[in-house]
Amino acid sequence: MTALPVDIDPTRIDVRASTSSEGTTVTVTGEVDSTTAPGLRTCLLEVIARPGRAAVEVDLRAVTFLDSAGLSALATAHRAAVASGRVLQMRCGTTRAVVRPLQITGLWTVFTVVDA
């Protein structure tokens, strides 16, 4: 059985990866929920699997909604980064939609938040 491709709904979420000499930044805009989280997870895992040791930064400052599926996608990416010897950094800003779920679940202290 083969899995169906996961599409990211461009009307609800935008995920863009950009690479520089300092590492890769994945910028996420919109809602991260049970519908869009699988696409985000796929993107993050692909970026983490790329050769190199540079940090991967996830910019969540423009996320307007983050539910348990989104938290799970971020946790999965974090575990993959640790397993590959890389650092996954979260840039959250002051966005309550992101900061609060991370704090409530305790992930705030697990993830490397670079702009706390």
Residue 10 main-chain phi, psi, to 5 deg: -70, -15
pLDDT in tens, 1-59: 333 344 555 668 999 999 888 889 999 999 999 999 999 999 999 999 998 888 999 99
Q: Quick check: 115 and 93 in contact, CB under 8 A?
A: yes
Give the domain ranges of the chain: 14-113
CATH number for the domain whose boundaries are 14-113: 3.30.750.24
Q: Quick check: 77 and 42 in contact, CB under 8 A?
A: no
Q: Quick check: 60 and 90 in contact, CB under 8 A?
A: yes
Buried b (16+ CB within 10 A) or exposed e, 18-36: eeeeebbbbbbbbbbbebb
pLDDT in tens, 92-114: 999 899 999 999 999 999 999 99
Integer CA distances (angstroms), 8 to 12, 13, 16, 58, 62, in order? 8, 7, 11, 17, 16
pLDDT at 116 over 60: no
pLDDT in tens, 54-77: 899 999 999 999 999 999 999 999
Identify the pLDDT of residue 10: 62
Question: Could you give the 3-state DSSP secondary structure of residue 18?
Answer: strand
